[in-house]
Amino acid sequence: MTTAATGPITHVSDTARWVAMYRAMETDRPDALFRDPYARRLAGEKGAEIVGTMPKAQSWAWPHIVRTAVFDEIILRCVREGAGAVLNLAAGLDARAWRLDLPPSLTWIQVDYPDMLAFVREQLAAEQPRCALRWEPADLADAAQRRALFRKVGAAHPNVLVVSEGLLIYLGAEGAAALAADLHAQPAFRRWVLDIASPRLLKMMQRSTRRQMASGNAEFLFAPAESTAYFGPHGWREAEFRSSWLEAQRLKRLPWLYNLFRPLSLIQSRKRREEWNRFAGIALMERA
């Protein structure tokens, strides 16, 4: 028997509205790391409700904002280095095709559930994307749909950057492994940028949001102990890892309370510092 959703998150797609609201909050700052003029429109009242009612929602803003900024940096660099297409998986309310300084020759492929893509198309119908834009409705949990889409994209574009921001944590270990293997099956998929959490962070997130997330079938599930090495058997190796903690320090988005813990890092062992730096992060993967 399925329990009806009762919290602000009623479907996994609502998490996109949640994160869009964080982008809107950052955009409003005079020293914003990025500008997303579409975020508040896309987040809507639902996004504001989620941030206003979810436990600790305000305290979770900084890692999402840092994640967005670092993804922006990596995507732009990979495009400069030759990626001719970006395959944006579970794109949600991502407006990078409209807001980033992308070359007109680039093809941006927006993948998500049909209703989510329809909503974004409607909201941004009057806006001009910076590059060629394709819409690909698909349920990535459906292996046949996923593989057919990957084959089509791989056949059409020789150098593809795969983007999966905020996706992996909602997959089980088997789902993440299957996705990695299917991506690797396409030689044109050269690089893959993803975000990844540690088991300790996963437990913290589950404790604070389990009831609300479960009500919308959007539970946090995936945080491998071996971090990005988990994808090694599936054809991917880490080319670059950007610690959320260290990037927040660099970008000056670390909450003031966390600064109290920074002196402790000076007396920690190298192993402990590495564990802390791997608490969460953004990784650029390449074919092994």
Does residue 89 belong to any structural domain of this protein? yes
Phi, psi angles (nearest 5°) of residue 223:
-160, 85
Judge whether 170 and 137 are in contact, CB under 8 Å.
Answer: no
Does residue 95 belong to any structural domain of this protein? yes
The residue assigned the tokens 């009831």 is: 211
Does residue 197 belong to any structural domain of this protein? yes
CATH (domain of 141): 3.40.50.150
Does residue 19 belong to any structural domain of this protein? no
Judge whether 75 and 161 are in contact, CB under 8 Å.
Answer: yes
Does residue 72 belong to any structural domain of this protein? yes
The residue assigned the tokens 């890892």 is: 241
Does residue 112 belong to any structural domain of this protein? yes
3-state secondary structure the chain: CCCCCCCCCCCCCHHHHHHHHHHHHHHCCCCCCCCCCCHHHHHHHHHHHHHHHCCCCHHHHHHHHHHHHHHHHHHHHHHHCCCCEEEECCCCCCCHHHHCCCCCCCEEEEEECHHHHHHHHHHCCCCCCCCEEEEEECCCCCHHHHHHHHHHHHHHCCCEEEEECCCHHHCCHHHHHHHHHHHHCCCCEEEEEEEEECHHHHHHHHHHHHHHHHHCCCCCCCCCCCHHHHHHHHCEEEEEEEEHHHHHHHCCCCCHHHHHHHHHHHCCCHHHHHHHHCCEEEEEEEEC
Domain count, the chain: 1
pLDDT of residue 70: 98
Does residue 29 belong to any structural domain of this protein? no
Domain span at 74: 61-287
Closest CA to 19 of 59, 75, 61: 61
State how far the Cα of 169 lies from the Cα of 4, in Å rounded to an integer.
23
Judge whether 46 and 251 are in contact, CB under 8 Å.
Answer: no
pLDDT of residue 13: 78
pTM of the model: 0.90
Q: What is the pLDDT along the chain (288 residues), one digit of tens a residue?
A: 334 445 677 777 788 999 999 999 999 999 999 999 999 999 999 999 988 887 777 778 999 999 999 999 999 999 999 999 999 999 999 999 999 999 999 999 999 999 999 999 999 999 999 999 999 999 999 999 999 999 999 999 999 999 999 999 999 999 999 999 999 999 999 999 999 999 999 888 777 665 555 554 568 899 999 999 999 999 999 999 999 999 999 999 998 776 666 666 667 677 777 777 899 999 999 999
pLDDT of residue 214: 52
Q: In angstroms, what CA-CA distances link 182 with 109, 149, 163, 230, 237?
A: 17, 10, 14, 15, 15
Does residue 145 belong to any structural domain of this protein? yes
pLDDT of residue 179: 98
